[in-house]
């Protein structure tokens, strides 16, 4: 009887202990789980410099209000309109090359920014940090570079859309582009870990959906139907909260595909949106 009771007690206590350990791991390691790009991408300054030179991008160091430094690349010059770009979770700054060069060809300047904790950047990623990162990018574009706010577009892809979302109700640009972006981290985390009390554990909810009703600029959203990382339902939930959003559904493609570069319909919608919200300036008349 003694050993039977002990076995029963062990059978009860062991699963509880394992569950508690798993929940504790989610609490302590959630930055690593949510933002793996900040921890898993190689930090290779020499390669960054080599790629930037090959693309004609100018490497910059942005300083946030709380003193951390961010890696950024500036593409183009004298365009009088500019796109601020935050990429996806696994995207180093070099991954901005295709978008940067495409936008320069379309007559734009680009400021591509790596957020807190990504290779070459200071600090630790998180919602409060991302807010300051987006603010620093906006300040560089509108103050240091001197582009008029209504000639600036903020573009975020995947987690980059969540970063842009931290200022959705704060800045007043020409427009926002949100590519494969979620309404909030919570629903994604609950789907991935239905066994965990996510709402109690989550320190970085990134609830763009709460800021969406207060956005003053038009928004273009693009989302692949087969996206299994950020299901299209999460994009639709965000669109429903926005007053002025065009939601472009892309029937094919995966989360890692560029909705604006790899899909013809997405590309056409993106170019049309950019030209609508910040048209190219008329060329100066020739001297008489």
- 96 closest CA partner among 80, 79, 113, 108: 113
CB atoms within 10 A of CB 269: 20
The pair of structure tokens assigned to 261 is 């570069």
Compute the 3-state secondary structure of the chain and give helix, strand, coil in percent, each to the nearest 5: 45, 15, 40
- Rounded to an integer, what is the distance from CA 227 to the centroid of its chain? 16
Q: How far apart are CA 135 and CA 258, in angstroms?
A: 25
Q: How far apart are CA 286 and CA 254, in angstroms?
A: 47
Predicted TM-score (pTM) of this structure = 0.91
Q: Which residues contact 22 (CB under 8 A, 6 or more apart)?
A: 195, 196
The pair of structure tokens assigned to 284 is 């100066």
* Backbone angles phi and psi of 66, in degrees to 5: -95, 15
The residues with which 67 forms a beta bridge, in sequence order, are: none
Element (H, E) at 251: none
DSSP-derived letter for residue 288 is -
Domain regions of the chain by residue span: 1-34, 36-277
Can you say whether the dihedral through the CA atoms of 247, 249, 253, 255 is positive or negative?
A: positive
DSSP-derived letter for residue 214 is G
User: Residue 288's pLDDT is what?
Assistant: 56
DSSP-derived letter for residue 181 is -
Q: How many residues does the chain have?
A: 288
User: Residue 5's pLDDT is what?
Assistant: 59
Q: How far apart are CA 87 and CA 155, in angstroms?
A: 8
Strands 82-86 and 152-157: parallel
pLDDT in tens, the chain (288 residues): 455 655 555 454 556 677 777 776 666 777 888 898 888 888 899 999 999 999 999 999 999 999 999 999 999 999 999 999 999 999 999 999 999 999 999 999 999 999 999 999 999 999 999 999 999 999 999 999 999 999 999 999 999 999 999 999 999 999 999 999 999 999 999 998 888 888 888 999 999 999 999 999 999 999 999 999 999 999 999 999 999 999 999 999 999 999 999 999 999 999 999 999 999 986 555 555
User: Residue 27's pLDDT is what?
Assistant: 64
Q: Is 72 helix (H, G, I), strand (E, B) or coil?
A: strand
Q: How far apart are CA 199 and CA 25, in angstroms?
A: 15
Tally DSSP H helices, then E strands, for the chain. Answer: 11, 8
User: Residue 1's pLDDT is what?
Assistant: 46
Q: What CATH number has the domain spanning 36-277?
A: 3.40.50.1820
User: Residue 10's pLDDT is what?
Assistant: 46
User: Residue 54's pLDDT is what?
Assistant: 96
User: Residue 267's pLDDT is what?
Assistant: 98
């Amino acid at each position: 009887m003694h050993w039977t009771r002990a076995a029963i007690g062990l059978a009860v206590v062991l699963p509880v202990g394992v569950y508690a350990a798993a929940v504790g791991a989610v609490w302590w390691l959630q930055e690593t789980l949510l933002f793996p790009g900040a921890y898993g991408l190689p930090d290779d300054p020499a390669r960054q410099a080599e790629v930037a030179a090959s693309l004609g991008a100018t490497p910059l160091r942005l300083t946030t209000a709380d003193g951390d430094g961010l890696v950024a690349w500036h593409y183009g010059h004298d365009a009088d309109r500019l796109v601020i770009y935050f990429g996806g979770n696994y995207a180093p700054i070099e991954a901005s090359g295709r978008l940067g060069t495409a936008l320069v060809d379309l007559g734009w300047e680009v400021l591509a920014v790596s957020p807190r904790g990504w290779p070459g950047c200071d600090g630790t990623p998180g919602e409060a940090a991302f807010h300051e990162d987006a603010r620093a990018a906006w300040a560089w574009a509108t103050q240091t570079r001197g582009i008029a706010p209504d000639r600036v577009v903020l573009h975020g892809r995947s987690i980059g859309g969540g970063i842009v979302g931290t200022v959705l109700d704060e800045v007043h640009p020409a427009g926002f582009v949100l590519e494969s972006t979620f309404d909030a981290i919570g629903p994604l985390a609950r789907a991935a870990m239905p066994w965990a009390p996510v709402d109690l554990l989550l320190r970085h909810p990134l609830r763009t959906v709460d800021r969406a009703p207060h956005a003053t600029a038009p928004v273009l959203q693009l989302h692949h139907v087969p996206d299994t990382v950020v299901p299209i339902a999460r994009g639709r939930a965000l669109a429903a909260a926005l007053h002025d959003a065009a939601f472009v559904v892309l029937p094919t493609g995966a989360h890692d595909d560029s909705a604006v570069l790899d899909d013809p319909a997405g590309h056409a919608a993106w170019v049309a949106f950019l030209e609508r919200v910040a048209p190219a300036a008329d060329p100066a008349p020739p001297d008489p």
